[in-house]
Amino acid sequence: MKRKSIFLKSWILLTFLTVAIMALMYIGHAIISVNSIEDTYTKLLQDNIVEFKEKVVSDPEAYLTREAADQTMAPELSYYIQIGEESRFVVQNPELERQSGLLLENIMANDQVLDAIAGGEDDFSRITIDDEDNNSLLLMVFVHRFEFQGKPGMLILNYDLDEFQAYSLNAKSITLLLLTVYLMGTIIYYQYLIRNVAEPLEVMTDIAFKYSRNDFSKRITFESYDEISGLGTAMNKLGKTLQATTLMNRDERELLNHLFDSLPTGILYFDQNFHLKLVNGPGQEFLDFWKRVDTNAEGQMIPRQFKEMVQQAFRTIAGNEADFSWAQRHYNVKVTPVVQTELQKTAGVLVVLQDVTNERQLDIIRGDFITNVSHDLRTPLQMIKGYSEAIIDNIAESNDEKIEMAQIILDETTEMNKMVNNLLDLSRMQAGYAELNRQPIDLAAFFTHLSGRFENSFKEAAIQFSYELTDGIQTYPFDEEKMNQVFYNLIDNAVRYSAEIGTRHQKFIDITVRLDDMLDKVVFEISDNGIGIQADSLPFIFERFYKNDKSRTYSKQKGTGIGLSIVKTVVEAHDGEIEVHSEPGVGTTFLIRFPFRTA
């Protein structure tokens, strides 16, 4: 499609208006010339009238009576002469002659003529009278008073100016027409600019503001193809590009926000006015936790230690790092200034905090494990060494004594082998190498056999052991050997951490197997009324090598702290879950839930 140029159209219209102005100027100049011609014409006409007046006055009686005198007059000239009682009105124009009486009456009734007659002096006047068709006639009237043979006389000369008036009116009409055409042209040009320039620009301005508000629902449409429509087409393409870019940026921003909130570390961002402008989920969790546990947190936005580090970062434009602890939770805090490279100015400060409680706890657990294993291995090794040397040196006098020493060595070796096997089993299971041999197990026989292994321990600790199978659950498919480890460790812990004799009316360890209809799971509940577990140790008791030293520093306690870790690993390998509820001085309950299976 060929582009129509707004500027070409504007140039044509402006050229037309310019021509119209020039024409108006020319007509105006013509009108001025007409006025000048009119003045000249009027002067000549007046001279002719005065000349004719002299002829009439020289022989007024002839013009009053002689018909031949009429032939010497110009066709536009007429006169009225009166001497005494006699008068005559002569009209040369044939079209007006038949209504001479009406013309004379109208002339004599004109106020200017009456004033001239009453004044008694020669006077030229322009008057307008109506003919019988109510058409206006423009006349130049000359009034002259004289005296003839003792009689008063009056001469009124009339000259018809209709032709000259028509010429003037035509010039003025043409001027008015051109002026009207010029005004219409300007109006049309204004409407053209409104329709083709102003309105499209207003529409594009409105759409541009909508684009600035990310509203891309509007598009520009044009009926013609010109510069403005080209600009509109470019804006439409710009809108599509901005919309695509905005959607892409929105997706990227949502992804970044999701990644930001999914970071395991807490993020806090402060601007130059020390306002917290940005915080992710872990960062907010830390602030909520800090406000709960710190008695000095009221009225503060962040911990005092953080504020000092942030202020230092603003002053020095350098990062720093420190470790802090609240309520047995440990955090590593890094403060990094966000520097505007060009201005060498700190725009804000980023605080990254990481909960290192588990790492610190694991460090403690590893240290305790080394200590515990060293202690648990050193004692039996010393006994093995001592009894071996006794046998070698023939300290044992009898064969029975040698056999007793050999049995002690065997027992200690067995205990050490058990410890090593537990460590190996835990490593294999947590590495995913455990193979389960699921078989339907008779639960009554399983718990009866298990209680037999602790018969002596139950008697020594005065513990009443019982188990109950409810809801018709008699069997469950699991790996008997590995589940034997689970319940052995739980019962062994309950025995080792039972209350002192005399502190309970009756010490007990109860196992209940029931069906949870709502969750469709089989629940194994192991309860005791021992010394319990401290609340701050509950989150860590299933960690490898963890030992509840604070609450279970007890004369009967020994081991490496991997028993409950083995329990949790075996339960999860059977698609189960385990949880613990405990209250110090009251007792502990372990709940193991397995999916309900009939075989």
> Can you name the CATH fold of 435-595?
Heat Shock Protein 90 (3.30.565)
How far, in whole angstroms, is CA 136 from its chain's centroid? 79
Q: Where are the domains of the chain?
A: 11-168, 267-355, 360-429, 435-595
- d(Cα 221, Cα 203) in Å, to the nearest integer? 10
Selection from 128-142, 153-167, 325-339, 423-437 with the highest mean pLDDT: 325-339
> Can you name the CATH fold of 11-168?
Beta-Lactamase (3.30.450)
What pLDDT shows up at residue 553?
44
The pLDDT of 293-307, averaged and rounded, is 78
What pLDDT shows up at residue 490?
92
CATH number, span 267-355: 3.30.450.20
pLDDT digits (tens, 9 = 90+) for 569-592: 889 888 999 999 999 989 999 999
Q: Is the pTM of this model over 0.85?
A: no
Q: Do domains 360-429 and 435-595 have the same CATH topology?
A: no
How far, in whole angstroms, is CA 380 from its chain's centroid? 71
Q: What is the DSSP letter of 543?
A: S
Does the pLDDT at position 309 exceed 50?
A: yes
- Two tokens at 66? 């002689």
Q: Is 46 exposed, middle or buried (0-12, 13-18, 19+ CB in 10 A)?
A: middle
- d(Cα 554, Cα 547) in Å, to the nearest integer? 11
Does the pLDDT at position 373 exceed 70?
A: no
Selection from 194-198, 255-259, 367-371, 531-535 with the highest mean pLDDT: 531-535
Band the pLDDT of 71: cuts 50, 70, 90.
low
Q: Phi-psi bin for 223: left (phi > 0), alpha (psi -120 to 50), beta? A: alpha
Does the pLDDT at position 547 exceed 80?
A: no
Between 73 and 461, the higher pLDDT residue: 461
Tokens 């006994």 found at: 383
Band the pLDDT of 117: cuts 50, 70, 90.
confident
> Can you name the CATH fold of 360-429?
Helix Hairpins (1.10.287)
Does the pLDDT at position 463 exceed 80?
A: yes
Selection from 49-63, 79-93, 308-322, 503-517 with the highest mean pLDDT: 503-517
The pLDDT of 305-316, averaged and rounded, is 80
What pLDDT shows up at residue 555?
40
Q: Can you tell me whether residue 349 is helix, strand or coil? A: strand
pLDDT digits (tens, 9 = 90+) for 274-289: 788 788 888 888 888 8
Percent of the chain with pLDDT over 90: 10
Band the pLDDT of 132: cuts 50, 70, 90.
confident
What pLDDT shows up at residue 145?
84
